[in-house]
Amino acid sequence: MTLANRFGPHLSIGIQICALALGLLCNLVLARLLSADGYGVYSIVYTLVSMIGMPLEVGLAMVMVREIASLHAGQDWGRMRGAIRASTFISLAFSAVWLSSCAIFLILADTETSHYAAAALWAAFLLPIAGLAAVRGSILRGLGHPLWGQAMGAVLKPGFFLLLMAAMAIKLWTDGAGVKFSPNLALALHSAAAAIALGIGMWLMARLIPADVKSAEPTYEWRRWLANIPGYSLMAAAFAANQAIATLALAFFDQPQAVGVYRVAELGASLVVMPLGAIAIHYSADIARLISQGNTTELRAKLRHAARVAIAAACPVALIFLIFGRELIKAAFGESYSGASLPLAILSLAQIVNTLTGLAGIVMSMGGHHREALAAVLIAIGIQLALTLWLVPSHSVTGAAISSAIATLVWCQILRLRVRKHYLVSTLPI
């Protein structure tokens, strides 16, 4: 047994911790190098790119993980080659539409939007490069190399971005020409970092792809592949909406400070559930393979092991937040954020229950039941919306945390029960 196989879940958690640290460092460096206005322009454009790129970076990527893993297990080399080619074509077609939209925006931009127009030019290159890199990472995961598949987007891209920013900052400082670090330059460097990660991913894929795939006649299933992309994309959008409801409600019913306090609690709770997310990424291809083979015995063992590793990693973090949450928040963010301690405790407990539920969402997605998973999330969003409108006006941040926690409990338990119904396996750690 190789080191990657034996300690794969633990290494995946390590990769996600590195990704979190690199992401924080990148944002800190950007905030220092750019003015407040410049950082705002960069953030707006990058957020827009992330939202528009969701069909590629989430929808198509999830389809490829499931398809490549299933085809690899069945040694269906022709369909695998067709799926890889189709993913490239879909990425390029989507990117062509995006580039055309950016070109129209540049032509129509007036003086009030000119500062966004130049940034949009570089964003036009970032989306297709990042999208292709995400799809290549998903193919590597499907081929049974989840660590490399994760490292492309989680470590290599932000790592090279950080190095390029540091190198450019040093160059501008030594030249002494008074040239300021701009949002355009930041987006250009981000595009370059994504291109380097994509190049490494393409090299890895060429080395790791089975030789039989390269000589096989490609077979395509366009209708089925294209039909699955919106479902996975809508799931990601639904999860994003689940997170946004509390923030928007607080912004409407309370003061901006309440939004900041809730954001601190939400960030802390995300650390509790991070091990589950890392393990979900690591095991997604294995789960797709086992489902396609009908191997419920190994699937049951894999799900139990994943839940045990995740809860073992999550419990110490949640316990620290429950006992020392107020002190940690005051030390890290200041006295004005100390009100986040109770919401943090509520959200952390909800994420512990979510972690105990295990990989129910991934099982549903990799088994082709993503529409049922989407329905469960939409039910939870409806409950959260009703509770938010009831609780936030009177209980502010605490009410938002309670509504979000209950919504999390609802959708994860629905998914757990659906997994048991479809596959007769439990996602719990016992």
For 394-425, write each residue's pLDDT tens digit. 888 899 999 999 999 998 999 999 999 999 89
Tell me: do 125 and 234 sit in the same domain: no
Using pLDDT thresholds of 50, 70 and 90, give the confidence band for residue 113.
low
Overall domain count for the chain: 2
More confident residue, 169 or 349: 349
pLDDT at 177 over 60: no
pLDDT at 236 over 80: no
Tell me: do 213 and 242 sit in the same domain: no
Cα–Cα dist 349/156, whole Å? 33
Domain boundary among 189, 220, 251: 220
Cα–Cα dist 333/325, whole Å? 12
pLDDT for 5 equals: 56
Using pLDDT thresholds of 50, 70 and 90, give the confidence band for residue 117.
low
pLDDT for 56 equals: 65
Using pLDDT thresholds of 50, 70 and 90, give the confidence band for residue 160.
very high
Tell me: do 261 and 236 sit in the same domain: yes
pLDDT for 352 equals: 94
Tell me: do 269 and 376 sit in the same domain: yes
Range of the domain at 117: 1-220
pLDDT at 130 over 90: no
Over residues 33-44, the pLDDT tens digits come to 877 677 767 776
Tell me: do 246 and 161 sit in the same domain: no
Cα–Cα dist 249/260, whole Å? 13
Using pLDDT thresholds of 50, 70 and 90, give the confidence band for residue 47.
low
Q: What number of other Cβ atoms are within 10 A of residue 364's Cβ?
A: 26
pLDDT at 128 over 60: yes
Give the burial class of 158: count Cβ atoms within 10 A of its Cβ; 0-12 exposed, 13-18 middle, 19 or more buried: buried
pLDDT for 314 equals: 92
Task: Please compute the mean of the pLDDT values over residues 180-207 and round it to a whole number.
Answer: 87
pLDDT at 4 over 70: no
pLDDT for 390 equals: 92
Tell me: do 127 and 275 sit in the same domain: no
Over residues 279-290, the pLDDT tens digits come to 888 888 889 889
Nearest CA-CA partner of 229 in 73, 346, 89, 25: 89
Tell me: do 423 and 385 sit in the same domain: yes
Q: What is the DSSP letter of 336?
A: G
pLDDT at 178 over 60: no
Domain boundary among 182, 203, 220: 220
The C-alpha angle with vertex 57 and arms to 356 and 167, in degrees rounded to 5, equals 105
pLDDT at 295 over 60: yes
pLDDT at 245 over 90: no
Tell me: do 312 and 351 sit in the same domain: yes
More confident residue, 260 or 367: 367
Average pLDDT, the chain: 83
pLDDT at 190 over 70: yes
Tell me: do 252 and 335 sit in the same domain: yes
Radius of gyration of the chain (CA): 22
Three-state secondary-structure class, residue 40: helix
Tell me: do 245 and 155 sit in the same domain: no
Tell me: do 214 and 232 sit in the same domain: no
Task: Please compute the mean of the pLDDT values over residues 9-18 and round it to a whole number.
Answer: 78
Nearest CA-CA partner of 376 in 420, 350, 410: 410
Domain boundary among 220, 247, 269: 220
Six-digit token string for 16: 């996600």
pLDDT at 1 over 60: no
Task: Please compute the mean of the pLDDT values over residues 268-274 and round it to a whole number.
Answer: 87
Tell me: do 283 and 419 sit in the same domain: yes
Lowest mean pLDDT among 2-6, 56-60, 185-189, 333-337: 2-6
